[in-house]
Amino acid sequence: MFGEAHPRRVVITAAEMVTPLGADAETTFRGFVDGRSGIRTTTRFDASGLGSQVAAEVDDGFLAATAGYAPRAEALSRSAPRAVQLGLAAGLATKRLAGLTDTPPHRFGVCVGTSGQMYDIGVLDELLQRRIGSGTTGPGPEFAGLLATQRHSMRKNASAAALAHLCGAAGPTMTVSSTCASGTQAIGEATLWIREGDADAVLAGGCDSLLSFLGISSFDLLTALATRFNDRPAAASRPFDRRRCGFVMGEGAAFVMLEELGHALRRGAEPLAEVAGYGTSCDAYRITDSPPHGAGAVLAMSGALTDGGLRAEDIDYISAHGTSTLINDRAETRAVHKVFGDRAASIPISSQKSMIGHTIAAAGAIECVTCLHVLRTGLIPPTINYEFPDPDCDLDYVPNTARAQEVRVAMSNSFGFGGQNASIVLRRWPGRADGDGHG
């Protein structure tokens, strides 16, 4: 039976997210249910020379989330790179909602999935070499000034370190950088810490922003981005649709507060959901795409079911990786068929990337929080822009319109570049059918 496999059960007691559809989880989830697209023509920089000229950008108003938390938090959020800013906004809001105050610091951890901010180390190197070549010793004020602005960018652990500092978390702290699987892996690995007794509470999630000329052009060169819909941005991301031609870059952040069940109940926190299972694997195939039959995805999904003592028939909804790329959507579909067999076609599966693009390291965390709201509300977000069925993608993708359906157990999939795969399963907390989702 569920819950017997792991003596230290792990529950979620708070969650928050910042996305192109809103600066909080409730607004974002309403946008998902309404099928609203957050994809627009790129405004952050001049993308006219690139193949992909659309992106899902977060409104700058999200910075208000750090105001009032602590002077240090607000100051840090305004000087840090974009990904760190997003992570602080969502992470600090989650900590505030959890009301976690009495946990000993050494029993409180932080686990963050992120790509780290992209920066051009060549600029720094050129400045230093020029100064040395001129016979001047030391880096000089020009180099030092540029280095000061890049100091956060050079550390992938900037988000985790800042959140641990601001939240007073002296327990295990980790940065997970496994591209598109990062957010899901961060939540999964943090779950293992609690199960194994290394922590009683962990702030876990993901944050990312690669919306720069360098970030977009890099994926553009890989022909991974959608390029046919620059004149129709909202139609550009179309997972599982026959006319899909690549993903749209997005940005965002999402976090959950994970707690050992007894710890949560003793402090009077009401669990929102239980982390039922976690599975992870590597394709050991190619850097940019999945094996045609999704062998790694099969291992991750099967592992999550086994870890939770669950069967295929227990899953009521799947939040798909669903990137809108030709190969990955097809591979994920085949993997779902292999894992769920005859039930595959009857399980609703949808992709929030159709509305907010691919937020890379933050994607799995955003989709995990979305599953939390699906469990709470019984509303399944649609996959928008699904117009032309692909015979190789033949599952129930909840096309274009949200669906009301009881969901007790939900699975979220993340299959990333480099063959990193992770799946996590959430189960609705017994007796909880409504509420505000924040704990």
Q: Which residues are catalytic?
A: 180, 321, 358
d(CA 302, CA 323): 21
Token pair recorded at residue 228:
């046919």
Q: Identify the bridge partners of residue 56 per DSSP, sorted by sequence position.
A: 250
Checking phi first, is residue 433 left (phi over 0); if not, alpha (psi -120 to 50) or beta?
Answer: alpha
Q: Identify the bridge partners of residue 403 per DSSP, sorted by sequence position.
A: 380
Q: Which residues contact 201 (CB under 8 A, 6 or more apart)?
A: 98, 100, 103, 107, 108, 109, 194, 257, 258, 259, 260, 263
| Dihedral Cα 293, 296, 297, 302, nearest 10 deg | 110
Where is 108: in which H helix or E strand? strand 108-113
d(CA 370, CA 375): 9
Burial class (CB in 10 A: 0-12, 13-18, 19+), 117: buried
Alpha helices in 152-271, H assignment, sequence order: 158-167, 182-195, 213-221, 261-266
Q: Identify the bridge partners of residue 260 per DSSP, sorted by sequence position.
A: 10
d(CA 256, CA 275): 11
